Structure 1
Amino acid sequence: MAVEPTRWYFSLRSPYSWLAYRELTENAPDVAERIEWRPYWEPGAASARLLAGTDIRLPYVPMSKEKHLYILQDVKRLAAERGLAVAWPVDTEPDWDVSHLGYLVAEDAGLGREFIGLAYRARFERGLDLSERAVVAAIGTELGLDPDTLGNAADDPAVLARGVEALRTIGRDGVFGVPFFVHGPDRYWGSDRLNGFLAGVRAAA
């Protein structure tokens, strides 16, 4: 019998993923250590060109101004409840390939989760633009990895191909937003559903 998957999908773009990441790693490390971590992102120019020739269809919907303003207010409120301050980045033309493909390189080196932590800190606590290759390269330096390889991961055809395959799993799992948690047949969407996911995983264990 096939083992049912237990994983979560995160995005370095999403402040709700940032909050879920902190909750997982700080308050539920037992679960964080035994589940799969999968990236979810809006394809940048390089990934989009490769996806154009496939049957992969991603459920992205442009965000309205009203929703954007609500998220700014909501995340500020949720962060304050956790004793956190948000430093919102200014990224008018983001390319999410840069950071998420950089994550794949760090993951190959066994430092994927450390990369995520530093990327979230850069974006939501320091207000840096993760589309800037220099920002991702600096994370590589901090991790002791080659900064050029990390910062320019989007130029590597092999990493790009892996990124496309990672995006393919989004459709297979029915993911339509982040954070998104999968435990067997059960799906949980949003940081406010994290406790339900944790309870399910712990009960099964």
Structure 2
Amino acid sequence: MRALDEGRAGARVPRIHFSFRSPFSWLGLLRLRELVPDLDDRVRFVPFWDPDPQTDAALAEQDAGFHYVQMSKAKHLYILQDTRRQAARLGVTMRWPIDDDPWWEVPHLAWLAAQRLGRGREFYDEVCAARWERGEDVCVPEAVRAIAGRLGLPAAIADATGDPDIRAEATRCLVAAYHDDIFGIPYFRVGPHRYWGLDRVESFAEALLARADPPAEPRPPVPAGAYDTDTAGGCG
């Protein structure tokens, strides 16, 4: 999974704005991977989440905000029912997680840390399995440490919320989403064309496949310091 990069060249790469909060984001990417097997080579992934006060303040400093509006109880109850329908249609089972005051920075900033280590796809899949298949609360550091352990990743990614460099990258992701007018998830962009929601997955896949094959791209460099990447102790 390729993360957000900056500059005009990066802006031309198709984007997927995803969220660990949204069941439709989870289901949408499951369907996309069926339609576009080399999806990770064709797009940039940009995480999207409800910002905590620290992120909110950082967005305000950059004259950015958050377009998403909290849903009503009626809409939430509809989504509970519709998600189960859509999951059954895709042949997957799910357990609706119980979130007690979720801190969404925890899994999303940990994804950014895993992505820097070249393990974003595996981390993404494991978080989705924990949240949507087992009903776990992935918004606590203990859950992320357990996920990291299963993947052989450094436990320190669970504490990415305390890393100023990761925090800055997270802010850039939400600033990009703000300027892209992202108001819901999943949200897809190919050039000037935008697609929102689970029912636009096929249209996005069609537009994506109509493009020329993407150029090969080296993995992003691993930052020094915060995350130990040697193989001792099972950390890969």
Q: Is 1:199 aligned to residue 191 of structure 2?
A: no
Quick one: distance in 1 between partners of 2:72 and 2:61?
A: 29
Report whether the alignment pairs 1:6 with 2:11. no
Report the CA distance between 1:94 and its aligned residue. Answer: 0.8
Matching of residue 110 in structure 1 with residue 118 in structure 2: yes
CA distance in 1, matches of 2:210, 2:59: 38
Gaps of 5+ in 2: 1-7, 213-236
Q: What TM-score does the superposition give when structure 1 sets the normalisation length?
A: 0.93
Answer 1 or 2: which has greater helix percent.
1
One-letter amino acid of the counterpart of residue 208, structure 2: V
Q: Distance in 2 between matches of 1:186 and 1:117?
A: 27
Residues 1:76 and 2:84 aligned together: yes
Count matched residues.
203
User: Which residue of 2 is the match for residue 179 of structure 1?
Assistant: 186
Other-structure match for 1:44 = 52
Question: Residues 127 and 53 of structure 1: is their aligned pair in 2 closer, same or farther, counting only changes over 3 Å?
Answer: same
In 1, distance between residues paired with 2:54 and 2:145?
A: 18
Listed as ranges, the matches of 1:22-61 within 5 Å are 22-61=30-69
2:200 is equivalent to residue 189 of structure 1: no
**Corresponding residue to 2:149 among 116, 141, 151:** 141
- Identity over aligned pairs, percent: 42
Rounded Cα–Cα distance in structure 2 between residues aligned with 1:24 and 1:197: 9
Instruction: Tell me by how many angstroms 1:162 deviates.
Output: 1.2
Describe the superposition over 1:99-130 as per-residue Cα deviations: whole angstroms up to 9, x where unpaired.
00000000000011111111110100010111
- Offset, 1:158: 1.5
TM-score between both structures, scaled by the size of structure 2: 0.82
Q: Equivalent residue for 1:159?
A: 166
Q: CA RMSD in A?
A: 1.4
Alignment partners' CA distance in 1, 2:60 and 2:42: 34
Secondary structure in 2 matching 1:60: coil
Distance 1:190 1:16 in 2: 7
3-state DSSP of counterpart to 1:37:
strand
CA positional deviation for 1:203: 1.6
Counterpart of 2:38 in 1: which secondary structure?
A: helix
